[in-house]
Amino acid sequence: MNWKGRVSTQSPNHVPRPEATVGARTTATKRALHLLLGVALLACVAKAQVPLPAYTSTFYAPATRGFYFQAPVTLDLTGLQVPDEGGMGAQVVAVYRLTSAPVLFPATVRSQPVFFRADVPTDQVVQIATPIRIQKGEWVAVLGAAGKTFGSLANSYGSASFPASVAGMPITLHRCGMQSNIGSSNGVGDLFGEPSKDIARVRLYAAGQGQAIKYGTPAGTSELLPDDALPPTVGRPSALIVRPGTAMNLGAVLAVGHRRTAIPLPIGTLLTHPFYFEIPLGGPLPTTGRQVVHALSIDPAWIGFQVRFQAAILLPSGPELTDGLEWTVGR
């Protein structure tokens, strides 16, 4: 059974898509089509990663915010990344192991991180080379913001007391912070908790969790974004966002692909190939982006499976390729 192209454009820059053949082909292809074609997919008008609330605002100050939670099971933390809505370009992150929840503001407790990094580009995940083992019942505090090791930082805010999950178990993310730029002190500072206040969003990756990682360079300003509230997770809705760089668009075509590539084309760099299938998105897309939701299979055999996405934004002058987004399905 061959999946033929279902979407085309009349632009002279259009490049016919490759096709993915299913049958006695690779196990990976069969898995992807069973996983992604055998389940519901909705195009909504409108790492692995611990889910986060939607972005609400940016808090600029020489202060650092984040969140804390109690580990419901033993965890291995593997990476962090700060969303950079303000375009600061660099990030500072830290992880703290606690024996209890942070004391309530204005009280503070002097704290030293078990992991700290600064001046890492915000388009990169900060990898934890030796994963941090957190035992069941321990408390974890995560601080992170976009900016340099001096002056003000940009804290990406989301809603307070956010219900999330890790390793398939429910947790609640509460706000914590320090009244200083942690980059200037290698993360050492006076930690406090404010559970009734908005958290600062920091993508936290743990072994076994699903994750969505951007890669490659777009042809213009259009891009694919992870939906931090819905990382790729078995048995749950998982989503990404297609964001055009201009309101003057005619829609998009979202490709679901097998592997990473870097093939130069007149309309940009093709970042995944071959395609399993394509999803047409009617236009115009809002400049805030359109959410695309996948209801993933509940089968735990798909944990660890990877799939890649790339979109062609349809502009009056012709299609323009976005960057890529790689999903690793988690629990």
CA distances from 171 to 74, 111, 167, 315 (A): 13, 23, 10, 42
CA distances from 315 to 233, 258, 326 (A): 33, 26, 24
Convert the pLDDT of each residue in 173-228 to its tens digit: 999 999 999 999 999 999 999 999 999 999 999 886 678 889 999 999 999 999 88
Q: Stretch 291-318: mean pLDDT, rounded?
A: 88
Residue 21 and residue 47: Cα distance in Å, rounded?
Answer: 29
Could you tell me which of 42, 27, 39 has the C-alpha nearest to residue 305? 27
Structure tokens at 26: 């690779």
* Mean pLDDT lowest among 163-167, 245-249, 314-318: 163-167
Could you tell me which of 266, 252, 194 has the C-alpha nearest to residue 223? 252
Percentage with pLDDT > 70 across the chain:
85
Strands 211-215 and 318-328: antiparallel
What is the per-residue pLDDT for 4?
29
Residue 30 has φ and ψ, to the nearest 5°, of -60, -45
What is the per-residue pLDDT for 166?
87
* Mean pLDDT lowest among 32-41, 147-156, 318-327: 32-41
Strongest mean pLDDT among 3-12, 17-26, 35-44, 56-65 = 56-65
pLDDT at 6 over 80: no
Q: Residue 141: which H helix or E strand, with range?
A: strand 139-146
**Structural domains in the chain, sorted by start:** 27-47+210-328 (2.60.40.10), 57-206 (2.60.120)
Question: The tokens 């989301």 sit on which residue?
Answer: 158
Task: Report the predicted TM-score, pTM, of the whole model to 2 decimal places.
Answer: 0.67
36 or 114: which carries more pLDDT confidence? 114
Contact by Cβ (8 Å): 322, 222 = yes
Residue type, 84: D
What is the per-residue pLDDT for 252?
96
pLDDT at 61 over 60: yes
